[in-house]
């Protein structure tokens, strides 16, 4: 699956949930509460493949899934640039100290597995918008 395919499919899933909650007149706070990992596993089990195993992507208390993936992620499926003999496909725009560039054969991808930036409630509150694609508007370069 390409980044773009994942991105569009995830945006659609996110929108369906947000629209459902809007019909129930959820406030911003209630909506963020709803996207708490524990609630999402129970009520939106198809939203993330890890939910099937009740597994978190990051070991964070009160992990919030509203901003999965991350507004700081940058990608281009056609390749961003050559780094010696490798092609870079993604990177972190804020150079988070907890992220790193992973090399897989001749491809370089951003590895966010140790970074919890977008999963903290305070970050979600600060960057909140009902439209996930607006929050993520800078990701596809
Ligand atoms: S390293 Fe952290 S801040 Fe950077 S793109 Fe990944 S999750 Fe986001």
Q: What is the mean pLDDT of residues 55-84?
A: 96
Q: Is the CB of 70 under 6 A from ligand 1?
A: yes
Q: Is the CB of 112 under 6 A from ligand 1?
A: yes
Question: CA–CA separation, 91 vs 110, rounded Å?
Answer: 5
- Give the pLDDT of residue 97: 97
Question: Considering the domain boundaries, does residue 102 fall inside one?
Answer: yes
- Give the pLDDT of residue 129: 98
The strand pair at 81-83 and 86-88 is best described as: antiparallel
CA of 90 to the centre of ligand 1 (A): 11
CA of 112 to the centre of ligand 1 (A): 5
Question: Considering the domain boundaries, does residue 7 fall inside one?
Answer: yes
- The range of the structural domain enclosing residue 111 comes to 3-135
Report the domain count for the chain: 1
CA of 110 to the centre of ligand 1 (A): 8
Q: Is the CB of 127 under 6 A from ligand 1?
A: no
pTM as predicted: 0.95
Q: Is residue 99 within 8 Å of residue 41, measured between CB atoms? A: no
Q: Is the CB of 99 under 6 A from ligand 1?
A: yes
Q: What is the mean pLDDT of residues 44-73?
A: 96
Which tokens sit at 68?
Answer: 């999965």
Q: Which of 15, 126, 12, 9 is nearest to 64 (CA)?
A: 126
Question: Considering the domain boundaries, does residue 141 fall inside one?
Answer: no
Residues 12-49 have pLDDT tens digits of: 999 999 999 999 999 999 999 999 999 999 999 999 99
Quick check: helix, strand or coil at residue 77?
coil
Question: Considering the domain boundaries, does residue 140 fall inside one?
Answer: no
Question: CA–CA separation, 31 vs 22, rounded Å?
Answer: 9
CA of 98 to the centre of ligand 1 (A): 8
Non-local CB neighbours of 103 within 8 Å, separated by 6+ positions = 86
Question: Considering the domain boundaries, does residue 91 fall inside one?
Answer: yes
Which tokens sit at 114?
Answer: 């140790």
- Give the pLDDT of residue 54: 96
Question: CA–CA separation, 121 vs 141, rounded Å?
Answer: 26
């Amino acid at each position: 699956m390409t980044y773009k395919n994942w991105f569009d499919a995830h945006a659609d899933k996110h929108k369906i949930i947000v629209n459902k909650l809007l019909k129930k007149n959820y406030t911003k706070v209630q909506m963020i509460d709803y996207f708490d990992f524990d609630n999402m596993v129970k009520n939106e089990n198809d939203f993330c493949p890890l939910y099937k195993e009740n597994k978190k992507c990051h070991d964070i208390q009160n992990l919030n899934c509203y901003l999965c993936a991350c507004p700081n992620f940058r990608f281009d499926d056609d390749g961003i640039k050559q780094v010696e003999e490798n092609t870079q496909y993604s990177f972190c725009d804020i150079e988070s100290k907890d992220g790193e560039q992973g090399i897989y054969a001749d491809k370089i991808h951003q590895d966010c597995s140790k970074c919890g930036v977008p999963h903290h409630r305070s970050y979600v509150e600060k960057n909140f918008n009902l439209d996930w694609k607006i929050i993520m508007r800078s990701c596809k370069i």
